[in-house]
Amino acid sequence: MNIRERNHGDDLALVDIWLRSVRATHTFLSEKEIQAMYPQVLNTYLPSVRVWVCEDDAGEVAGFMGLNGNKVEMLFVDANKRGKGAGRRLLNFARSLHGTLLVDVNEQNPQAHGFYKHYGFEDVGRSAYDDSGRPFPIIHMKLAG
């Protein structure tokens, strides 16, 4: 697997990975809510963070991660490529850059929470609402460097 910085030609493929991943893990969101978020992810969220892409051994994009300093703002692995090390590889790369890492996880996404716990993150707080003010509780997590 290879980690590289995103180029703008990746954006549609990355948002498609986001879409497949969210459909597989964010069961608390309706399809209408997911579709409404698609242009925001493409036009607002991806450009606002530094994005790193994980390619598998065949050169296909397996997942991606968006960092804002030491905060993991997004980490999505293609639903068809989960469990093959792309997420761990991306976090290892983030640790090599920053040491201590922060991440916020939807409480209703136990798969993601379990993934980060297994990696070594600890719960450090909780918010009743997400960043958009919706009643989707957020678990704040930290991995000490």
State residue 89's pLDDT score.
95
Question: Which H, E and C letters describe 114-132, residue by residue?
Answer: HHHHHHCCEEEEEECCCCC
Fold of 2-143: Aminopeptidase (3.40.630)
Strand order in the sheet with 138-143: 2-5, 50-55, 61-68, 71-77, 101-106, 138-143, 122-127
- Is residue 27's pLDDT more than 80? no
**Segment 79-126, tens digit of pLDDT:** 777 778 899 999 999 999 998 999 999 998 888 999 999 999 999 999
| Cα–Cα distance, 115 to 124 (Å, whole number) | 16
| pLDDT level of residue 29 (50, 70, 90 thresholds) | confident
Residue among 83, 140, 77 at smallest CA distance from 113: 140
Domain ranges of the chain: 2-143
Q: What percent of the chain has pLDDT over 70?
A: 100
